[in-house]
Structure 1
Amino acid sequence: MSSVLFILTGATSWTQKDGSQRASGFWGEEFVVPHQIFSNAGVSITIATPEGSPAVVDGLSLSPEANNGDTAKVAAISAYLNLHGSALRAPARVADLDVGDFDAVFVPGGHGPMQDLAVHGGVGKILAEALNHPAKVVAAVCHGQASFLAAGDAASWTFKGRKLTAFSNAEETQVGLADNAPWLLEDRLRAAGAAYEAGTSWAPNVVIDGDLVTGQNPASAEATAKAVIELLSQRATAR
């Protein structure tokens, strides 16, 4: 049985350029859809946050407005979160985990990762170890790729030169959050040395670079998870 480590943000707010705090957390769809796909495939899942604090869903991600008015989808996401509420309330602490125990690391988005995962040394360490291991898969969706920024410094960034995607400047602008954001993820990834690739705003877009799988936005969560399953299956067959 394959095993996947889900690293979720432990942040409940995102500090804005003007110093205000915007309520945040992880994006519901980006956790629920991949978690369902991995569970249905028989994958063992461990949930962790940087310091073992509860993982809190961004309330905006449960609004009809953020889900194209699909109230049935919102209800299904909410029900799934309730089903796994105990695991989300008491996740593991990243520092207590050994990347050797997992076949893949998966990081859902939401703006919370911009607050904590992007600057957490323990998160960066486990991502670097996973990406540098020939048998591991690293994956992230939307703003989950902010966690990549913690994996090394400017001189030795683990993801330098790797092809990837993430929530785009255009999408951040379209949701009205770019102007007050302390920084934009696309800009930071490019500046750090990633070979960033943007697709059409809000449409599924997944970039696969060897053992690295990234999805651009919430609509990419399903395809990202399925790509990880495919890579895990290939590795299992090769063993």
Structure 2
Amino acid sequence: MKQLRTMALSLGLALSTAGGVQAANVLVVLSDSDHLDLKDGKVFQTGVYLNELMQPVQALLEAGHEITFATPKGMAPAVDKTSIDKMYFGGDEAAMKASEAKLEELGLLSREKSPVVSLARIEQIGYDRFDAVYVPGGHAPMQDLLVSPELGRLLTHFHEKGKTTALTCHGPIALISTLPDAKGFTEQLATSGAAKTDGKWIYAGYKLTVLSNEEEEIAKGLLNGGQMKFYPQTALEQAGAQHSKAEKPFAAHLVTDRELITGQNPASAPAVAEEMLKRLK
């Protein structure tokens, strides 16, 4: 019988199984932001995509793994309202509502009871506690995760230890945080459309995927006339990644390279979850 319990040190939520199954401890990193700053001072209200967060989280919990939730500042995350749509769940409204219910059960959106802790707290208790890290998308990671020094240190640890690092849709932009000057890189990219890393990026040469420039162009209507400062595909390619994409826009596409697992878009979240489960056995 599976049973939810609270982790020691208020680290998050865990699911344990009665059969003595060895559970992995997975860290899910989310953005603190509920918006993305666009060009010309415009702002887009956003957050995490419901299915990109909950499909992997539900799969991990059902498999008996422990989950800890963190953001750079330890704030309760926001959900992108446009992602609360059955089309992201294969047209299955019941599955969408089940994810909403689980999200509420976990208390992730509660300002008073949220289990989310800060990345500084994660660093204090030690990265070695965690076997895998997962970063879902939505536009919010483009606001803060890509320049978070705390996240940069965490991802560098996972890279050096070869531990599973999974990211979906806009989530892979978080890998930019490991650059020596992530903020300078992104500012240069936003200003001129090009930026240099001098070859100093731990993921240089990795094959990965992220929401493609083509998909960004198709979906830019969501921005209500605004324009992003740059696209994640461009940023990752400029940093030194080898980008891969599906033959058709918004088709599921999974890429694995060494410790990295990346999914291209919302439709790729189930495949990311499946690959994580394989590695955590």
Structure 1 length-normalised TM: 0.91
Cα distance in 2 for residues equivalent to 1:87 and 1:23 = 16
Question: C-alpha displacement at 1:72, in angstroms?
Answer: 3.2
What's the CA shift string for 1:115-152, capped at 9, x where partnerless?
Answer: 01011111111011101113x11110000111101112
What's the CA shift string for 1:182-217, capped at 9, x where partnerless?
Answer: 110001100100011111311111001121100000
What's the CA shift string for 1:55-79, capped at 9, x where partnerless?
Answer: 1111111145766765434322222
Question: C-alpha displacement at 1:172, in angstroms?
Answer: 0.8
Question: C-alpha displacement at 1:37, in angstroms?
Answer: 0.8
Distance 1:130 1:59, change over 3 A: same
One-letter identity of the residue aligned with 1:137: T
Question: Are 1:94 and 2:119 matched, yes or no?
Answer: yes
Cα distance in 2 for residues equivalent to 1:67 and 1:227 = 18
Distance 1:22 1:67, change over 3 A: farther
Aligned counterpart, 1:236? none
Cα distance in 2 for residues equivalent to 1:159 and 1:25 = 26
Cα distance in 1 for residues equivalent to 2:88 and 2:141 = 19
Cα distance in 1 for residues equivalent to 2:108 and 2:260 = 30
Cα distance in 1 for residues equivalent to 2:259 and 2:104 = 32
Q: Would you say the 8 A contact 1:168–1:185 is kept in 2?
A: yes
Aligned counterpart, 2:232? 185
Q: Would you say the 8 A contact 1:53–1:90 is kept in 2?
A: no
**Match of residue 167, structure 2, among 123, 140, 157:** 140
- Specify the structure having the higher radius of gyration (Cα): 2
Cα distance in 2 for residues equivalent to 1:53 and 1:39 = 22
SS in 1 for 2:152: helix
Matched positions, count: 232
What's the CA shift string for 1:80-133, capped at 9, x where partnerless?
Answer: 211112576340101111221101011001100000101111111101110111
Distance 1:8 1:86, change over 3 A: closer
Cα distance in 1 for residues equivalent to 2:273 and 2:160 = 20
Question: Are 1:10 and 2:32 matched, yes or no?
Answer: yes
Cα distance in 1 for residues equivalent to 2:250 and 2:47 = 20
Question: Are 1:59 and 2:81 matched, yes or no?
Answer: yes
Q: Would you say the 8 A contact 1:62–1:77 is kept in 2?
A: no
Q: Would you say the 8 A contact 2:46–2:80 is kept in 1?
A: yes
Question: C-alpha displacement at 1:228, in angstroms?
Answer: 1.3
Question: C-alpha displacement at 1:20, in angstroms?
Answer: 1.2
CA RMSD of aligned residues (A): 1.8
Aligned counterpart, 2:158? 130
Q: Which runs of 5+ in 2 are unaligned?
A: 1-22, 181-196
Aligned counterpart, 1:48? 70
One-letter identity of the residue aligned with 1:9: S
One-letter identity of the residue aligned with 1:220: S
Structure 2 length-normalised TM: 0.78
One-letter identity of the residue aligned with 2:177: A
Aligned counterpart, 2:13? none
Question: Are 1:210 and 2:210 matched, yes or no?
Answer: no
Cα distance in 1 for residues equivalent to 2:275 and 2:244 = 17
Question: Are 1:173 and 2:217 matched, yes or no?
Answer: yes
Distance 1:18 1:194, change over 3 A: same
Question: C-alpha displacement at 1:227, in angstroms?
Answer: 0.5
Question: C-alpha displacement at 1:17, in angstroms?
Answer: 1.0
Q: Would you say the 8 A contact 1:166–1:185 is kept in 2?
A: yes
Question: Are 1:116 and 2:144 matched, yes or no?
Answer: yes
Aligned counterpart, 2:191? none
